[in-house]
Amino acid sequence: MLSSDTADVVICGAGIAGISAAYFLACRAGVKEILIVDPRDPLSLTSDKSSEAYRNWWPDPAMVQLMDRSIDLMEELADECGNCFHMNRRGYLYVTTNRAGAEALLENAEEISKAGSGPLRVYSGEPGEPSYVPHQEHGYAQDLAGADLLLNPDLIQNHFPYLTKNAVAALHVRRAGWLSAQQFGQYLLDQARSAGVKLERGKVAGVEIEHGRVQAVVLEDGRRIRTNIFVNAAGPNLKDVGSLTGVELPVYSEIHLKAMLRDTQEIIPRDAPLVIYADRQMLNWTPEEKQALESENDLRFLLDELSAGGHLRPEGGSSSPIVLLLWDYHGQIVEPAFPIPIDPEYQEIALRGLVSLVPGLNVYLERSQKPNVDGGYYTRTVENRPLIGPMPIEGSYVIGALSGYGIMVSAAAGELLAAWITGGKLPDYAHEFALERYDRPGYLEGFEEDGQL
């Protein structure tokens, strides 16, 4: 039995995208009959697998505006519920061990600052310089924005003594941190349900369209829900669900994993920020390991220079031993499949990469632990902007392609989608995230960087 066979809006997917859309439609725009349909428990496919971090530090001005709006909304929601989702503002710390890396960090930071992410302050350790302001462990009250670039190795060691002594520059991005995505999503869902949103278990298998307009949504078991508004929030299945309305969405998926290391030796302080290794690197292998890797077609790439961007952060409260490790050392575009394939070597390789950044982690290579790894898909567009807004069929909408930033963008994305659906006032950036943007001549020219890290 369906809880209802008609709805004003049917949302396909109870990930953070679908839930945020439901929250903004019901709680902020007053839409009454909203049904979210998903065969799984809410937030259980991708949205509970993330590293839950946020930042307004993006090279693309439209993304900066969207993220700043999203962070404003998250702060407002955190104020409202007494920070029930544990939002902090410890920042992202990008670290390099070489001069060329330091120049690249500076150049890149100047561009991102110009894109609107906030002022850049540079500290070279000269007498009379203003002091670098450290982050606070808890809360999001510190309103320092932009970024601090530390160019003095002693200054870096004073503040972050666990980093390699080879660190020559560290960029501390300040409107950034992390939160509990599960608790954030649950808070939005609870509010939405109190405002009347219903959740139905089921898989969307068809969308009935007549005269170019959505008429009904059909579930896999044959149930039919009459509606004139259908929202595709299907995460990694965005493309398949888009094709139910005859539209080919320009998205693809990459697999991304994360390891949960038990830091029993307390190598990473519990108050650390999210720390990112900004250098490409070659891993250290013994001659025997090298020989073994050379003979394996699938693993030989591990002998090459590998990508920058390995990162880590403490997870949980002061008594938790968990540190999250992430390193996309082998970017792979794949067709999403579940359960996701887990690379059995992931934890060890991520650890080997991050030892260059935090040498103390070497103890866990000497005394290895049973790997604890999960992950999901970054479903994304080529220029790494999300898809939020109307689709070519009247009454059909999309909120997705949230890539590696779906938690941080979800609030502004949900708000924007609700404005499109209800005819509310659209922000200046609205058209930059709608599907129609690809019709603009030359639109894709000028996206050099995807801003992923």
Ligand X SMILES: Cc1cc2nc3c(=O)[nH]c(=O)nc-3n(C[C@H](O)[C@H](O)[C@H](O)COP(=O)(O)OP(=O)(O)OC[C@H]3O[C@@H](n4cnc5c(N)ncnc54)[C@H](O)[C@@H]3O)c2cc1C
Query: Can you give the binding site for ligand X, defined by CB under 6 A?
Result: 12-18, 37-40, 45-47, 49-54, 203-204, 233-237, 241, 256, 258, 375-376, 400, 402-408
Q: Report whether 354 contacts 312 (CB < 8 A).
A: yes
Q: Which one, 153 or 404, has the nearer CB to ligand X?
A: 404
**Tokens 């894109």 belong to residue:** 115
* Smallest separation, CB 274 to ligand X (Å): 8
Helix (H) or strand (E) holding 411: helix 406-422
How do strand 333-334 and strand 176-178 relate by DSSP bridges?
unpaired
**Sign (positive or negative) of CA dihedral 372, 378, 384, 389:** negative
* Smallest separation, CB 91 to ligand X (Å): 13
Longest dimension (CA), the chain: 74
SS3 label, residue 238: helix
Task: Please provide the distance, in angstroms rounded to a whole number, between the alpha carbons at the two ends of the chain.
Answer: 46
* Smallest separation, CB 104 to ligand X (Å): 23
Count other Cβ atoms within 10 Å, centred on residue 168. 18
* Smallest separation, CB 189 to ligand X (Å): 12
* Smallest separation, CB 386 to ligand X (Å): 9
Q: Which one, 242 or 395, has the nearer CB to ligand X?
A: 242
* Smallest separation, CB 402 to ligand X (Å): 4
* Smallest separation, CB 99 to ligand X (Å): 29
Tell me the C-alpha to C-alpha distance, in Å, between residue 343 and each of 214, 328, 350: 41, 12, 11
**Ramachandran bin of 123, using left for φ above 0, alpha for ψ from -120 to 50, beta for the remaining angles:** beta
Residue 28 identity (one-letter amino acid): R
Q: Which one, 24 or 405, has the nearer CB to ligand X?
A: 405
Q: Which one, 169 or 260, has the nearer CB to ligand X?
A: 260
Distance, in Å, from the CA atom of 274 to the CA atom of 54, rounded to the nearest integer, reads 10
Omega before 314 within 30 of 0, i.e. cis: no
Q: Which one, 235 or 395, has the nearer CB to ligand X?
A: 235
SS3 label, residue 383: coil
Q: Report whether 120 contacts 109 (CB < 8 A).
A: yes
Q: Report whether 262 contacts 322 (CB < 8 A).
A: yes
Distance, in Å, from the CA atom of 48 to the CA atom of 393, rounded to the nearest integer, reads 31
Distance, in Å, from the CA atom of 179 to the CA atom of 89, rounded to the nearest integer, reads 9
* Smallest separation, CB 122 to ligand X (Å): 27
Token pair of 124 as six digits: 């070279």
Q: Report whether 251 contacts 403 (CB < 8 A).
A: no
Q: Which one, 14 or 192, has the nearer CB to ligand X?
A: 14
Q: Which one, 27 or 151, has the nearer CB to ligand X?
A: 27
Q: Which one, 77 or 169, has the nearer CB to ligand X?
A: 77
Q: Which one, 149 or 189, has the nearer CB to ligand X?
A: 189
Residue 188, burial from CB neighbour count under 10 angstroms (0-12, 13-18, 19+)? buried
* Smallest separation, CB 18 to ligand X (Å): 6
* Smallest separation, CB 52 to ligand X (Å): 5
Q: Which one, 118 or 376, has the nearer CB to ligand X?
A: 376
Omega before 339 within 30 of 0, i.e. cis: yes
For the chain, how many residues are written? 453
- Dihedral, CA atoms, 119, 120, 125, 130, nearest 10 degrees? 0
* Smallest separation, CB 205 to ligand X (Å): 7
Q: Which one, 153 or 406, has the nearer CB to ligand X?
A: 406
